[in-house]
Amino acid sequence: MGLTADSQAYVRDLEEYLGKVLFDAAGAAESEAAVLLVRGALASGNRARAAWLAQATEDLAQARPADADLMAAAAHARGLLEHDPAALELAALAYSAPLAKAAAIEDAGRASSVQGDQNHGVARLRRAYEQYEKLGRTEEMARVRSHLRVAGVRVRHRKCADKPAFGWGSLTKTECRIAELVSEGLSNREVASQIFLSPHTVAFHLRHIFWKLDVSSRVQLATLVTEKTMPEPSLSVRP
């Protein structure tokens, strides 16, 4: 199934943004941007671009050896490119963020399966699933379950009602927490420090929150959060 025009535009905007984040000499390299760019190139079948991006990430990591997450991203990018479980496990060990660790473990499981090592593939996917479950990442959990089903393994999970596309009910636990913190006046960087994500990841989540709640500013979001949390007025009965 092809992407819609809106989806294609979003992907182009995302790639342009990530490219600036990662390769703008004036800013700090962002590990998540590197991995997402390599994923995007591989998903579109452009292995040459993926290889160039992986090498560029390794070059950046070598230039900034103190940036442990960038070093992890370099191993992650190379592991994705070469379907190398060992490199992906190394990335999982090196990442500081739990979500990044889980993603690298998931990729290691998929790489093991590609290489025909189903036992290690299933074991790694189970580990990733457990990590996602601890983090409350339902979308990632569903993705891993689908990979495990392909391998003939079923994972028990709690059934939940389908989420609506818009409104408060459409927000994930992470998005709800970010909305609450932003409504308190915290910056993206301050929010990131509290929920153990990068500021750029928070910015991506915030963009989705704005879209789902049909708001265009932090002030509007704060107003909605206040209205949502404000207690209903009690009706007093006069004697």
Q: Is residue 53 part of a domain?
A: no
SS3 track for 154-216: CCCCCCCCCCCCCCHHHCCHHHHHHHHHHHCCCCHHHHHHHHCCCHHHHHHHHHHHHHHHCCC
Q: What is the residue type of 29?
A: A
pLDDT (mean) for 75-102: 93
pLDDT score recorded for residue 6: 45
Using 50, 70 and 90 to split pLDDT, how confident is the model at 56?
confident
> Which residues, in sequence order, are CB contacts of 136 under 8 Å at separation 6+?
172, 173, 174
Q: Is residue 169 part of a domain?
A: yes
What sign has the CA pseudo-torsion 125, 117, 114, 18? Answer: positive
Number of domains, the chain = 1
Residue range(s) defining the domain that contains residue 223: 163-230
Residue 101 pLDDT > 70: yes
pLDDT score recorded for residue 7: 43
Q: What is the residue type of 69?
A: D
Q: Is residue 192 part of a domain?
A: yes
What dihedral angle (degrees, nearest 10) is formed by the CA atoms of 168, 170, 174, 177?
0
Q: Is residue 138 part of a domain?
A: no
pTM for the predicted model, two decimal places: 0.59
**CATH number of residue 191's parent domain:** 1.10.10.10
Question: What does the mean pLDDT of the chain come to?
Answer: 80
In angstroms, the CA 119 to CA 116 distance is 9
Q: Is residue 142 part of a domain?
A: no
Least Cα distance to 139 among 205, 199, 40 occurs for 205
The three-state secondary structure class of 65 is coil
Q: Is residue 116 part of a domain?
A: no
Residue 133 pLDDT > 80: yes
In angstroms, the CA 130 to CA 102 distance is 9
Angle at 35 between CA 131 and CA 126, to 5 degrees: 25
Q: Is residue 57 part of a domain?
A: no
pLDDT score recorded for residue 76: 95
Least Cα distance to 35 among 73, 69, 1, 78 occurs for 73
The tokens describing 173, both together, are: 């636990």
Q: Is residue 33 part of a domain?
A: no
